[in-house]
Amino acid sequence: MFKESQEKAKNPLWKFLPLALIIFVAVVGAAIFLSDSSDEDVQVLTGIIRSDNSEFQWYSDYLKLVDPKIQMGLNFAGNRIVMISGLIENNGERTVDVVEVKIAFFNYEEPISEAFSTPVKPGPYSPPIEPLSQRTINFYIEKIPKGWKSSHAEIEISGIRFLGQE
């Protein structure tokens, strides 16, 4: 006569699962949005004097690239890179806050390509090079020119900017 109905006990986890999923998606979306590294932070450097300027030619006697080293290596992805290091000596009387270098790639004696880099530029980790001081530079190039047989490369200072000439 009497039927006992047994109700299944609901697990409270099912109540909170949709809310937890929404919070998880929001946190992942915020992390992706904030980690987007765009090139908007790249500042354009102005006031750089290059090799055709008489002031550069005069000061190049005092600013020297000492003991440059160019080596091949692999990055963490396993791709080839060119690692460049050296020492910049400022034996002049002016403070230099930007140094631009030109890297020329050769196959035997034939030039294949050129690349430019700015290893010394204003920033929190790169103070200017004071007079009568020196600074090491280390950087790498990931975009190796096609057809370069890794036979020879040369580096030289191609542009400078004195502190306060922005």
Per-residue pLDDT of the chain (166 residues; tens, 9 = 90+): 566 666 666 677 777 888 888 999 999 988 888 876 554 455 788 889 998 999 999 999 999 999 999 999 998 988 889 999 999 999 999 999 999 999 999 988 899 999 999 999 988 888 899 999 999 999 999 998 888 888 789 999 999 999 887 6
CA gap 124, 77 in Å, rounded: 28
Q: Radius of gyration over alpha carbons of the chain, in Å?
A: 28
* CA 132 distance to own-chain centroid: 27
CA gap 22, 7 in Å, rounded: 30
Domains along the chain with CATH numbers? 49-162 (2.60.40)
Helix (H, G, I), strand (E, B) or coil at 135: strand
* C-alpha distances in Å from residue 140, one per residue of 23, 64, 82, 117, 135: 41, 20, 5, 9, 17
Instruction: Tell how strand 110-120 and strand 80-90 pair up.
Output: unpaired
CA gap 84, 39 in Å, rounded: 24
Helix (H, G, I), strand (E, B) or coil at 150: coil
Contact 60, 66 (CB under 8 A): no
